[in-house]
Amino acid sequence: MSAVKVVQRSSLQTLQAGSLCYNKRVLLHTCCVNCAAASIERLQELSYEVGVYFCNSNIYPIDEFEKRCVDMQKYAEKINVPVWTEDYDHQDWLNFVKGFEDEPEKGERCRLCFRYNLARTAKLAETENYDLFTTTLTISPHKISKIIFEEGKMYPAFLDIDFKKQDGFKRSLVLSEINDFYRQKYCGCEFSKRQT
């Protein structure tokens, strides 16, 4: 895995007085700010202290990676949440999914893609002393949460929260509109781009 750099880290938002009061720190892997905003909101409602990890070497081309990354950083700064960004290494990701390029979305290539990003998130969560980690990927109607959970459960620190429940995806659309986020037209890799 390429080196992780801290892009921005600021004091954490005061925890909301939610009903569950876990008071635990959770690192949230995110693919884009559109999925992150509603997921952060849900975690904070549950009284988690949230940090964000933009870990997306699956995204192609790099311009797309940068656009999504900048929007994520701007929003994290606005809501005072720390964010880390993985150094982009698309070739490493391509090597990881080799042989599965022609799989349809929701298939084996996506499972490997989840595995790739969750492994890196688990590692950063451990390094930065987070109690738990999870991912925004479950908010998308194009992703099968069961597969994400199967991959996540390899790690004791994985939090299996399904963000699409309780109208999570609808809420993500509302927050995107309010905040005027850049909204991509494909999942991320060149293979998903071909399929749109």
**Single residue of 37, 113, 125, 148 touching ligand SF4 by CB under 6 A:** 113
Question: Is 145 a binder of ligand SF4 (CB under 6 A)?
Answer: no
Closest to ligand SF4 by CB, 81 vs 113, is 113
Least separation in angstroms between residue 115's CB and ligand SF4 is 10
Cα 95 to Cα 31, 42, 187, 192: the distances in Å are: 20, 34, 19, 17
Closest to ligand SF4 by CB, 87 vs 126, is 87
Choose one: 16-24, 40-48, 103-111, 172-180; the region binding ligand SF4 (CB under 6 A): 103-111
Question: Is 135 a binder of ligand SF4 (CB under 6 A)?
Answer: no
Least separation in angstroms between residue 188's CB and ligand SF4 is 3
Closest to ligand SF4 by CB, 24 vs 90, is 90
Closest to ligand SF4 by CB, 109 vs 164, is 109
Angle at 164 between CA 82 and CA 7, to 5 degrees: 15
- Contact of 120 with 90, CB cutoff 8 Å: no
- Contact of 75 with 182, CB cutoff 8 Å: no
Q: Which of 153, 33, 144, 123 is closest to 81 using CA atoms?
A: 33
Query: What is the spatial distance between Cα 45 and Cα 50, in angstroms, rounded to a whole number?
Result: 11
Question: Is 105 a binder of ligand SF4 (CB under 6 A)?
Answer: yes
Q: Which of 102, 108, 5, 97 is closest to 54 using CA atoms?
A: 5
Structural tokens at position 95: 């090597």
Least separation in angstroms between residue 104's CB and ligand SF4 is 9
Site string for ligand SF4, 168-187 (x = CB under 6 A): -------------------x
Query: What is the spatial distance between Cα 161 and Cα 149, in angstroms, rounded to a whole number?
Result: 9
Q: Binding residues for ligand SF4, per CB under 6 A?
A: 58, 105, 109-110, 113, 187-189, 191-192
